[in-house]
Amino acid sequence: MEVLNSIPIELDLEAVLKRMRLRNRSDNIVGNIREMLDIARPIARPKAVYEVAYVENKNGDSLEIGGIKFTSRVLRVNLDKVERVFPYVVTCGRELEEIDIPSTDFIKGYYLDQIKETTVVLARQYVEDYLKKRYALGQLSRMAPGAGAEIDWPIMQQKELFSLFGGREKVEELIGVRLTDSFLMVPIKSVSGIFFPTEVSFESCQLCPRERCIGRRAAYDPELVKKYQPEQA
């Protein structure tokens, strides 16, 4: 297990604007985002923890990773020929979470939220690139509990995922991410999942038919959905 306590990222205006997909870049909007960036950038400390784990006991809709059982047909199929995976938790950091914006200032609160989102996305990309270099990996894909409307890996298995790092308390101690009783993470702008080597890129979005989704990274692929359906007896 390795902890990355201060991930270097380029948290600049263009990165935030790109993440927000803004069509209107008026002086007022850009000025407000710059103001929030001036507050956030000096204190941003995105963090991550990852583990190297091995896949065993693949059976039907379940498998074991690092000795912990996970139940998901999609995950099992994706890891059918994979032996080594990289569970991770990445966060924007408590430093950004603790910035105090008046609840009545919705606009600045929204821009800060987008800055935190940009921070965790850039940090996750850094971790992916770091893993590729350190372990001489080619293409990586990822899955996360509860991601995608059609994904069968329930969010409740965040508990099992966190256990790969020693449990909820240990993850909070290492990088400041708390797992709630409803299996959500605090800071909210935190992500978790499993990186795995693959020859063909996979995104959970490919299995999700929901059309209106700001976080969509790939088009819905009904033909790919068939790949994960249980085989008929």
Higher pLDDT, 84 or 213: 84
Two tokens, residue 106 = 């919705």
Asked if the structure places residue 70 within a domain, the reply is yes
pLDDT tens track for 33-76: 999 999 999 999 999 999 999 999 999 889 999 999 999 988 99
- Residue 233: its pLDDT value, please? 43
165-171 — which CB contacts under 8 Å span 24+ positions?
165/1, 165/49, 165/51, 165/87, 165/89, 166/1, 171/49, 171/89
Domain boundaries, position 44: 2-227
Q: Is residue 232 part of a domain?
A: no
pLDDT surpassing 70 at residue 109: yes
Flag whether 167 is in a domain: yes
Sequence-ordered strand ranges (E) for 42-167: 47-50, 53-59, 62-65, 68-71, 84-91, 140-143
- Please check whether residue 196 is in contact with residue 76, taking contact to mean a CB–CB distance below 8 angstroms: no
- Quick one: which of 101, 207, 93 has its CA closest to 152? 207
The whole-number pLDDT of residue 177 equals: 98
The average pLDDT across 191-215 equals 68
Report the Cα 112 to chain-centroid distance in Å. Answer: 19
Indicate whether 88 pLDDT > 80.
Answer: yes
Q: Which residue has the tokens 């950091």?
A: 93
Q: Would you state the pLDDT for residue 227?
A: 57
* Amino acid residing at 189: K
Residue 179 placed within a domain: yes
- In a domain, residue 153? The reply is yes
CB burial readout 149-164, b (16+ within 10 A) else e: eebebeeebbebbbbb
How many domains are there within the chain? 1
Tokens representing 213? 């989704």
Asked whether residue 226 carries a pLDDT value surpassing 60, the answer given is no
At residue 198, the pLDDT reads 86
- Amino acid found at 113: D
Q: How many whole angstroms separate alpha carbon 192 and alpha carbon 86?
A: 11
The structure tokens 């990186």 sit at 195
Domain of residue 197, CATH code: 3.40.109.40
Rounded-to-integer distance, Cα 37 and Cα 12, Å? 8
Task: Give the model confidence (pLDDT) of 167-195 as tens digits.
Answer: 999 999 999 999 999 999 999 999 999 99
CB neighbour list of residue 176: distance below 8 Å, 6 or more residues apart: 47, 91, 93, 94, 187
Q: Is the pLDDT of residue 223 over 90?
A: no
pLDDT of residue 228: 60
**pLDDT value at position 218?**
56
* Within a domain: 114: yes
The pLDDT tens digits for 112-159 are 999 999 999 999 999 999 999 999 999 999 999 987 544 578 999 999
CB 117 within 8 A of CB 18: no
